Structure 1
Amino acid sequence: MDAHAQDNNNPRRINWRGTIAKWLKIIAKWWGAIAILSVGAILIIVLAVLILFKQVVIKPLDPEFRLQSATVSLLNTSAAEFTATWHVKFIAVNPNHKLNISYNSMRAAMFYKANNSDGNGVLLATKPVPPPSALSPKAETTRSFRVETASAYVGEDLAKEISEGRARGSVSFVLRLLGTFKYSSYWTDPRKFEASCDRVEFGFSPGNSTGALTLGQSRACGTDLRSGKFCLFD
């Protein structure tokens, strides 16, 4: 047997070329994984910096709403039913210095909160209303809408309380404006808001079924950004 044959049959002979190729493949595989992780880490850092920049430097402010004027016509508060029409005028304000605000939708709701009661009160009427137009920074716009309810069942006690309040010359209702908006030129999804005007007092003259806002009731409405789904939209 010649020397070449002995070398081929030697179990201790190492295939250096195959071993080197194998290790090169392993190194390339791990290097690719490290590169992907590095790119992912860089993207996360950049995203965190952008979020921090938007919240700290830009400082987006919530939209603001002010009740300007309103009237209510109480056509019927007899028995346990309630019929009324509200005419409302409000001002939408964009308090931001750099961001535009655009509205996608809006709904108005009127409640009656019984004396010394907690919560929203009894829902009397709700309907979609035209949202404000897009507002540039520090701009405002005025919008009007009408909400009505016909022969709504409210119960004898509540109907009596409203009727007695009108006879005394004053009835208070709760106005809610609910909708969605977004900051234009600002990377964010649409957000939900609820503007609440609690205890809006309407004054009635003797024998008059139409009441208007009493003195000092033209005021700002508190705005709350909501993450959940509004039940009034169901």
Structure 2
Amino acid sequence: MHPSSSSSSHPPDHPGFKSPPPPGPAMGYPANPPPPPPPPPASNAAYFAAPPPAANGNAAYFAAPPPAVNGNAGAAFGVAYPYPAPPSHSHPPPPPPQHPYHHHHHHYPPHHHYNHPYPPPPPPPTCLRRLLGLLVAAFLLLGAATFIVWLLLRPRVPAFSLSSLSLSRVAYSAANSSLSASFDASLLAANPNSKLSVTYFSPLASVSLAPSSPIAVTSLPPFSQGPRNSTTLTFRLEVDGAYVGPDEAVPLKSGGVGTMEVHVRLAAVAVFDRGGWRTRRRVMRVMCDGVPLTFRGKNATEAAFSGPARRCDVVL
């Protein structure tokens, strides 16, 4: 308001009373244009002179507005706070872009797969699980007991030695390199265990001129040995027209001069036992290899092993 104007409803003669500021324009609408200023006086000095003092101390309220800057005197009046009024010639703001930026769409599996999980498998029957547990426990206990007894008793392998071996009724045919003869052998078996007995099942004796080519095989009756017991096995092996290789037939071709090596072997199933405890059946092999037979007589029909008992190898 100009300094010369005054309010008709609220006279300035009431002390401490201040008139409320005029209401501002609504948000987003242009404010009412301010009233045109009164014509300036003849001189600019009188226009910008200080207003006369007002009564009751309201000089600040009725003071003149600040001077205009660059001719924008009406810019400070009639503007809605805090946004300025848009110009009359402005256009409506452009719509926001539909796709302000590019983004990637992540494809996820549909949700209905998570709502229906697979049902858990049915638990095995309780009786079956208990039975399996009992069987496993019994097997472990039996194995542990057998191992403990084996450590306490400590079974030792029996010892075998060849005490005698003779060859008789030798008939060799050089035409087809065949041999017919009789072998008589004696084996001494000793059980070195002081607490265990040994039983031999299905003993099988053989004789050969080469380690892998037996020329005679015979079966022996089963037998048993108590602790610290020794047993002599006597058996005969008959050879009837068996083929003899050229290297093994050299002593026979020379008319029985020199010696001939013979291999005597025994195989059986051995079981160690003490009272009601028994070990499992194991195959035992006795190998008496390279036993020399010396021919005697002019016609080379007999040969024999001469010397002390020969220790045999035992594999159990």
Give TM-score scaled by structure 1 length.
Answer: 0.70
What does 1:43-62 align with in structure 2 at a 5 Å threshold?
43-62=138-157
Provide structure 1 residue ranges, at least 5 long, that are not aligned to the other structure: 1-28, 114-119, 226-234
AA partner of residue 219 (structure 1):
R
Note if 1:197 corresponds to 2:288: yes
Q: Does 1:84 align with 2:181?
A: yes
Counterpart among 102, 120, 145 of residue 199 in structure 2:
102
Larger Rg: 2
Q: How big is each residue's C-alpha offset from its partner over 1:125-162, in whole Å with a ceiling of 9 and x where there is no partner?
A: 1111234x31111101112110011222225x246324
Whether the 8 Å contact between 1:106 and 1:128 is mirrored in structure 2 is: yes
Task: Specify the SS of the correspondent of 1:152.
Answer: strand
1:4-41 C-alpha deviation (Å, 9 max, x unpaired): xxxxxxxxxxxxxxxxxxxxxxxxx75x6775565445
- Equivalent AA in structure 2 for residue 70 of structure 1: L
Q: Structure 1 residues 202, 43: closer, same or farther in 2, change over 3 A?
A: same
**1:161 pairs with one of 250, 254, 270:** 250
What are the within-5 Å matches in structure 2 for residues 1-234 of structure 1? Answer: 36=131, 39-73=134-168, 75-79=170-174, 80-113=177-210, 120-131=211-222, 133-155=223-245, 157-158=246-247, 160-164=249-253, 167-185=256-274, 186-207=277-298, 208-216=300-308, 218-225=309-316
Q: Secondary structure at the match of 2:256?
A: helix
CA contact (8 A) 2:165 2:186 kept: yes
3-state SS, counterpart of residue 161 of structure 2: strand
* Equivalences, count: 189
C-alpha contact 2:196 2:273 (8 A) present in aligned 1: yes
Percent identical: 25
Shift of 1:45: 3.6
| Greater strand content | 1
Q: 1:172 to 1:197 in 2, by over 3 A?
A: same
Amino acid at match of 2:156: L
Q: Determine the C-alpha separation between the residues in 1 that align with 2:137 and 2:166.
A: 58
Structure 2 residues without counterparts, runs of 5 or longer: 1-124
Contact 2:202 2:221 in 1 (8 A): yes
1:92–1:141: 8 Å Cα contact kept in structure 2? yes
Q: Could you say which structure has the higher helix fraction?
A: 1
Q: RCO (CA 8 Å, sep 6+): is it higher in 1 or 2? A: 1
What TM-score results when the alignment is normalised by the length of structure 2?
A: 0.53
Is the CA contact 1:169–1:206 (under 8 Å) kept in the aligned structure 2? no
Indicate the residue corresponding to 1:5 in structure 2.
none
Q: What are the superposed Cα offsets for residues 68-118 of structure 1, whole Å, 9 maximum, x if unpaired?
A: 1111125212211111111111111112121111122111111112xxxxx
**1:165/1:171 contact within 8 Å kept:** no
The whole-number CA distance in structure 1 between the counterparts of 2:301 and 2:215 is 17
Secondary structure of residue in 2 paired with 1:69: strand
Give how far 1:172 is off. 0.9
Structure 1 residues 160 and 42, CA, compared in 2 at 3 Å: closer, same or farther? closer
Q: Tell me the secondary structure at the aligned position of residue 97 of structure 1.
A: coil
C-alpha distance in 2 between matches for 1:54 and 1:88: 37
Q: Secondary structure at the match of 1:77?
A: strand
In structure 2, do the counterparts of structure 1 residues 166 and 176 end up closer, same or farther at CA, with 3 Å as the change threshold?
farther
Contact 1:77/1:162 (<8 A) preserved: no
One-letter amino acid matched to 1:83: S
CA RMSD of aligned residues (A): 2.6
Q: Distance in 2 between matches of 1:50 and 1:171?
A: 50
